[in-house]
Structure 1
């Protein structure tokens, strides 16, 4: 291929509080780019990525987004993990009429024409998770999160969903992103004082492991009072001491231990690309299929400008490891396959809530009345995959 390459920007941290999970996303992004180029690129042109490391710092995400758009003339950017980082990038991306693929679950209640949300919206993780918790553990929930926008909004949504079922939140507590021993001690003391039926955690990044470790050391039993989370992933579980993660609950569209052919093939390719026995996470899987969605749309549009790319994006879908996915033209969010799992160390996770069909995004929870079975989840026809 001798034609000028398609240039994209990738803004993913390799250090800082979310460095571990974003390195996982970066590996998946690199894998997707390599696959596309190995198949001849897009319309005979390679994909060339310009990488930036924002070090988990929102201000750096914004400055990198500005630089990529202004200096590198990039029209499509992939990245962002914490909602604060997405919100930092979007003004620059909108100002330069570019597109951001945001490959991470988030709190919902947002729309930008310039953002394609490929992580789970609340109806695709919070709703099935609360359904499972209420049916199996009780009605008294303790809520904890890191001190920034996603935990506050996600906790509000989950609390409302639990209350709609007749449950209640016994306490709500927030800890710094830079979690310290005294914060963990206060958190454990509050959990013990309230004796809840389950914990809902939106603690993120490097705070996850010390929280779960302290929870086990305090003698709490996940068989009767689990920590449930969407922000905990296989990367965090791998960093925990043996036995710490066993029996806790994670909601996500993808797990590294899924046994369908697409998931198995992706897991094998990801390990080869990552250079070792590294588990792929749901955010990594979203980062991976985001690049393939972009490639399919670009092959159809022939132009990576937003005016051509977005209409094409609404007409394609790809066979992601979790199942076939597509972007909704009304919300710019993605049709996904929600799952809830209990962690089993050294074994495939126990999938306790299986999707029977793909669930359309409902980022404003307009069709949710607190019961997943009241939500319509139509099956969409499969379009030809442009890969």
Structure 2
């Protein structure tokens, strides 16, 4: 490997950040398998800018500053060409500071919509096209008015809850709001709150295993209100079990559905590579898969991975193709459709396009 801007003859080196511990560690096997599929597909073609893609995945489930320190050490070698990943916004902000715009950083997870430093390109869904759009859909289709919010105590849940409150006709329609430490597994105090009886819907701003714990306890408590859970994937549905998933709605830019571009075909390619006993190909796995293909498509469209070149190109309306469809950017935010699905046992049934 050699310095950024002076590519080696044959390889292009990527840091991929995926949580391997904590409540979001549940997504790691799916993300690893989806990354392997993307790398295989890219390298079976012309690679990225004619070079073989090589990926090093690091654990994004640690303290944000610990992750950022490891990224800093790797960047200091001058041998890293880009950063990708699917991880918490708190990790993203620490890594963005460490990167300081040196290499492109493609963040593939839904986020809270705050401005970012140079070099950060947000492939994940903005709350306006994701959580807020889903809340509007539930209000319009099912007359949902009063919300209860349960979330983890870090930047994405808190900022998303603020955005939801600002979007409502009456902020008092949030009848209950509670944030719990990351990794919480006991939600009985929230479920016993009398104010919860007034909620038409529960907005779950938890992640990974937290969501499965909450859903099981919600069902066991005899609660029946619909729930909206922006960070739920198929792993969470499997962990919770069918009885815990009734009336659970999830927004995402991609579901494995024959109604959506590349849905069924992607599942076939994934099973052909990994076999029938592979981890489920989930929305988070698809996020990192799309992230790898977006990096390839962006580099080929701009003919560069130099951060200033990318920013200039996006201001002029450069568009690019991933297996999920045609994409472009508004500022540093990828513009893409978003869908709402309802849990169907341990899978999803897409009910509508919401953005």
Q: 1:106 aligns with which of 101, 108, 111?
A: 111
Matched residue SS, 1:77: strand
Cα distance, 1:200–1:38 mapped onto 2, change above 3 Å: same
Across the two proteins, how many residue pairs are aligned to each other?
344
Q: 2:181 aligns with which of 176, 180, 186?
A: 176
Counterparts of 2:236 and 2:194, CA distance in 1: 21
Structure 2 partner of 1:124: 129
Counterparts of 1:205 and 1:347, CA distance in 2: 15
Counterparts of 1:301 and 1:128, CA distance in 2: 31
149-158 or 23-32, which moves further after superposition? 23-32
Structure 1 partner of 2:326: 324
Structure 1 partner of 2:38: 32
Question: By how many angstroms is 1:219 displaced?
Answer: 0.9
**Which runs of structure 2 are paired with 1:120-199 in the superposition (5 Å)?**
120-135=125-140, 136-162=142-168, 164=169, 168-181=173-186, 184-190=187-193, 194-199=197-202
Q: Is the 8 A contact 1:13 1:23 kept in 2?
A: no
Verify: 1:217 aligned to 2:223, yes or no: no
Counterparts of 1:261 and 1:304, CA distance in 2: 27
Structure 1 partner of 2:306: 305
Structure 2 partner of 1:229: 229
Structure 2 partner of 1:204: 207
Q: Is the 8 A contact 1:128 1:353 kept in 2?
A: no
Counterparts of 2:30 and 2:62, CA distance in 1: 14
2-11 or 311-320, which moves further after superposition? 311-320
Verify: 1:52 aligned to 2:54, yes or no: no
Counterparts of 2:327 and 2:60, CA distance in 1: 29
Q: Is the 8 A contact 1:76 1:100 kept in 2?
A: yes
TM normalised by structure 1 equals 0.81
Counterparts of 1:92 and 1:80, CA distance in 2: 17
Counterparts of 1:230 and 1:284, CA distance in 2: 15
Once superposed, what is the RMSD of the aligned Cα atoms? 2.4
Question: By how many angstroms is 1:166 displaced?
Answer: 8.0
Question: By how many angstroms is 1:215 displaced?
Answer: 0.4
Counterparts of 1:54 and 1:204, CA distance in 2: 14
TM normalised by structure 2 equals 0.88
- Show CA shifts across 1:90-115 (max 9, x none): 11111x62221100001102132210
Counterparts of 1:204 and 1:191, CA distance in 2: 25
Question: By how many angstroms is 1:312 displaced?
Answer: 4.8
Counterparts of 2:353 and 2:164, CA distance in 1: 20
Counterparts of 2:342 and 2:287, CA distance in 1: 21
Question: By how many angstroms is 1:193 displaced?
Answer: 5.0
